[in-house]
Amino acid sequence: MKGGSIVTVNEANQYIQINKEKVINRYRHNYHVMAPIGWINDPNGFSLFKDEYHLFYQYYPYDSEWGPMHWGHAKSKDFIKWETLPVALAPDQPYDAGGCFSGSAMQIGEELYLMYTGHTDPDKENPEAVREVQCLAKSTDGIAFEKCSKNPVISSDEVPGHARIQDFRDPKIWEKDGKYYVVIGSKRKDYKGQILFYTSEDLENWKYLNRFTLEEDFGTVWECPDLFMLDCRDVLIMSPQLLPEGKYGSQNIYACIAAIGNFDYSTGDYHVEHYQQLDSGFDFYAPQTVKAKDGRRIMIGWMNMWERESPLKDLGHYWRGSMTLPRELFIKSNKVYQQPVKEIQNYRKNEEIFYGLNINEEHSLEHIKLQSHELYIELDNMENKVLDIDLFKNGDESLKLTVDGIKKEVRLDRSNIGYSIESKNKPKDYIRKQSIDSMKEGIKLNIFVDVSSVEIFINDGEYVMTSLVYPKNEGHIAFRSCDLVTIKKFIKWDICV
């Protein structure tokens, strides 16, 4: 809905074609998913259909701020090079007039099915009037979708009594042993978070199975849940709103948590063995996964964050939002690890390798002007030593990545780089930290830079830190230390897509 009127898929696509040339490219990425124009948030419908990977996303093409949600759409053969497709869904029905909220997709036979949340908000003065229901759409070609005549397939009447019908969203569907299952984010009537499990024989008639919830303070609505098997373990990922700061290392009030455990398909009980934060940077939310053709579990997230001011709006660039680099998941030492998909290696060009760099003051690599690059940094024993890595360095400005062997942490500081990104709920929120158990054996950093984004994979993906950054000028990479720090290996690749 735009300006109070219903907007169709065709009208949205026409608007995009007419207006996409207005977009300013200065901070746009080269190897990350973006929309042609406008705002995007959660990844949706990450799926495999007829040997191609499809990714949908929450989309409002008419502004660089959030509005009534559509589903944008892209596809890829390799997770790296994406083709933008027409808008798949628009809020054009009474049951989704306030937005086609997040959901998922799966191929059934020769058709691609979408399951999404229909959101209605008939009275802006009364939040209790909001309703959220679950809906279906399907397509034979994976491009044009028809909404199901039986929508909503899970109505407010089918929400259990302990759950708020105003917060009932983000269905993730899958099939097991001839039955369909869905996990849905929910908020209890006492405003604690929970996840609801439903099952169906035909996708249109659903039965409530059970819920997963906690009595401790674990945020409010648990958005964008996903449940999947990984290395013979069940993993539940979710994005709790208003998670207490410090809970499982969380530094954003909109967090992303993985819970390794066991799901009982007969009872709907989920037993958790281990919780962890999925990303300790600034800009990562609402991840969703897909099982790749070769069996890998691949995750992608929204590379942005709620309650943040963006300079792109004030600069008049006509866009905001992108997706992370897709990441392969695996379990090691009872933790979910993440690594960039191996397909990115096919786009490496112009390799440079340095061995045995000894840093005891400042060492600049001014010829490496950071734009779209992959960096690999392997450090020797960092116990009781500190190394600053300045990214986008230009004069006194840089995005500062610090490996601190005294405090046993990796820090990311964006207080002194380009246009500031301000948090609406926490003034001067410029630093993120990740504790490291030991640095005696050294540390490995795999860093992906793409114009205005940085993704840092620490120690083969044990930890990840994701951040947006808007440097005003071209910058290079530099190293600084007051100690004698040895960089065992430094590799730079250009990423050319």
- One pLDDT digit (tens) per residue for the chain, 497 residues: 454 567 899 999 999 999 999 999 999 999 999 999 999 999 999 999 999 999 999 999 999 999 999 999 999 999 999 999 999 999 999 999 999 999 999 999 999 999 999 999 988 889 899 999 999 999 999 999 999 999 999 999 999 999 999 999 999 999 999 999 999 999 999 999 999 999 999 999 999 999 999 999 999 999 999 999 999 999 999 999 999 988 888 899 899 999 999 999 999 999 999 999 999 999 999 999 999 999 999 999 999 999 999 999 999 999 999 999 999 999 999 999 999 999 999 999 999 999 999 999 999 999 999 999 999 999 999 999 999 999 999 999 999 999 999 999 999 999 999 999 999 888 889 999 999 999 999 999 999 999 999 999 999 999 999 999 999 999 999 999 999 999 999 999 999 99
pLDDT recorded at residue 245: 87
Superfamily of domain 9-340: Glycosyl hydrolase domain; family 43 (2.115.10.20)
CA distance 253 to 397: 28
CA distance 289 to 108: 18
> Residue ranges of the domains in the chain?
9-340, 347-495
Burial group, residue 189, by CB count within 10 angstroms (0-12, 13-18, 19+): exposed
pLDDT recorded at residue 2: 55
CA distance 338 to 226: 16
CA distance 337 to 347: 23
CA distance 374 to 202: 45
pLDDT recorded at residue 6: 75
Instruction: Fill in the DSSP letter of residue 94.
Output: G
- Report strand pairing: 38-49 vs 319-320: parallel
Q: Which residues of 136-162 are buried (b: 16+ CB within 10 A; e: fewer)?
A: bbbbeebeebebbeebbbbbeebbeee
Q: Which residues are catalytic?
A: 42
347-495 has CATH 3.30.70.3400 classification: no
pLDDT of 78-125, one tens digit each?
999 999 999 999 999 999 999 999 999 999 999 999 999 999 998 888
3-state helix, strand, coil in the chain (%, to 5): 5, 55, 40
Residue length of the chain: 497
pLDDT recorded at residue 122: 87
